[in-house]
Structure 1
């Protein structure tokens, strides 16, 4: 980071800046080094967003007056047309003074729990697979979130926050559990897997995300996970069981892995009442050669291909939650909405890139 940029960011940490929404009496304050988006969400505003990290483009806005410092100028969430028109991503902008913006807020995005920053201490780790590990952190305050949401972790030695979903349930003890997949040469996961020790501290900022469990409908639930998308789906399943939702409906849990050694999730579900009856686990391996090499007798293919085979043709009878690699989530979304006409209101996921 250049000296000028570093100076700007240091200034925003010590100064507060008013941000006005054009055509509205709404004004909120950016403080503490927040981005425009996080400041809006902490103020309880319905600012549209998904990934909170520059990839999806949902938080686009126009500057009416004032200036911003852009944290990631090349963020893929902006198209070339957006750049020509001067549009910005709220998750990648820090106001450098009083700011006026144009954005259409939406009640759907109003946070049900306002995001907060917490100092958190690592208290335990446990391997889930050969490349997924659960990290458990504790904060002094209660862990307040909705099942399926994520938080942003600020890790010492890592250049930017990373978003990870919680796998546990909200609790008064202040425990936040994350099931994180190791990324080859990934800066954050290298630090987490190889440098972070029990007792070390990180900052947890959250909760964020809109793909949380909806309890107010009678439809059967389908959770679909791949990679570390396991965490939010485990949290949703735990919450559905704890809320008593599975007395009158089923929950189908799908996990897709490249090889049989990548499959996981079932042990977490086996701990819940109703496993094998109200909770049904389905696993799918995409690498047919690896499956054949060990005489794998389970499902082979892409996980989305198995949904209609195992659930039947009328997928619109279900409520869908999913998380995982972008190609998987894109394929699921297209199949549900285009091929099977599942209403958008029954499809819940946060886009990450």
Structure 2
């Protein structure tokens, strides 16, 4: 049995149409849906950070107030919301579907302080070797739950035989229980050697997260420079995918520094640059051979060569500590404000042989 709830439905909504418009009065963000999935899934799939927890209608973390429009539940109204709350126009976004245009009120997550760190059991869905020292791992969170995070954050990967190891999340924070990691093989690193050479599909692991204050600042209007080294591309990928999903029109300049052409383990940046006029991509090789016709040297130096002033830019730097430090020191001299520099340095040296 399907339960429909009506809240201040005006005549402009009493009509049939193939797409409904959902507007959050708090943020002013708008998206469209066919009403086939619940409103939470539709919002997250479009890059909006609506809050959620269990996604089963029990915890109540996805509550929102409907100002105008019609929504419906399949089956009984979930236990995570009381009859009194329903009478006040409140709904559970993880369970209700749009039946008309809907105006709602919900506080979207926009900082790491808004998101609870949790532990999830997961199963290895797939393993793909990008090149000789980078592997892509997809982890499927068990059950119907998902990890809520901001683009750029990381998780701790937990295996009983090793110390927990931090890996950046490489896919956008849409509503999926799949977590993508880009893992670089570290010499004498026990955990990364295990992942690279021994980890099998369907293996069981745990993740804990999200963690870290390296994340995409959506409210800013400044143009963006992304400086990444090696597998620092992983969280950059999550940020770009999120920007594309949310239809951001901010100018985005990607600089990816690697040792040689093998280090450019995916052609996604080239695809983004070709498909989106607000995205540019510059690969930089530090040990290029004679056949390479592109940029060479240190990646931060290519940024300095292209931008005389950095006062109007936000910079996100992710990769080896030396790269991040060089970028921060030199970019400030070009006018970049320190508060506009966000970084995540991959500190391998402090972890010894526990990797």
What band does the TM-score fall into relative to the shorter chain?
0.5 to 0.7
Change (3 A) 1:284 1:271: closer
Residue 156 of structure 2, aligned match among 131, 152, 160: 152
Pairwise mapping of residues 291-302 of structure 1 onto structure 2 (< 5 A)?
291-292=289-290, 295-302=291-298
Pairwise mapping of residues 2-21 of structure 1 onto structure 2 (< 5 A)?
none
What displacement does 1:129 show? 2.8
Using the size of structure 2 for normalisation, the TM-score is 0.63
Unmatched runs of 5 consecutive residues or more in structure 2: 1-109, 348-355
Q: Do the aligned partners of 1:150 and 1:207 also contact (CA within 8 Å) in 2?
A: yes
Unmatched runs of 5 consecutive residues or more in structure 1: 1-107
- 2:280 paired residue number: 280
Q: Do the aligned partners of 2:224 and 2:315 also contact (CA within 8 Å) in 1?
A: yes
What displacement does 1:138 show? 0.6
- SS at 1:225's partner residue? strand
Pairwise mapping of residues 117-156 of structure 1 onto structure 2 (< 5 A)?
117-139=119-141, 140=143, 141-156=145-160
Which has the greater radius of gyration? 2
- 1:252 paired residue number: 253
Pairwise mapping of residues 1-353 of structure 1 onto structure 2 (< 5 A)?
111-139=113-141, 140=143, 141-158=145-162, 160-246=163-249, 249-265=250-266, 267-270=267-270, 272=272, 275=275, 277-287=277-287, 290-292=288-290, 295-310=291-306, 312-337=307-332, 339-353=333-347
Q: Do the aligned partners of 1:304 and 1:332 also contact (CA within 8 Å) in 2?
A: yes
Using the size of structure 1 for normalisation, the TM-score is 0.63
Q: Do the aligned partners of 2:155 and 2:166 also contact (CA within 8 Å) in 1?
A: yes
Alignment partners' CA distance in 2, 1:116 and 1:165 = 16
Structure 1 residue runs of 4 or more that deviate by more than 3 Å after TM superposition: 269-276
What displacement does 1:271 show? 5.1
Alignment partners' CA distance in 1, 2:343 and 2:324 = 8
Q: Say what the alpha-carbon RMSD is for the aligned residues.
A: 1.9
Change (3 A) 1:300 1:273: closer
Alignment partners' CA distance in 2, 1:165 and 1:341 = 29
The structure with the largest helix share of the pair is 1
Alignment partners' CA distance in 2, 1:224 and 1:275 = 20
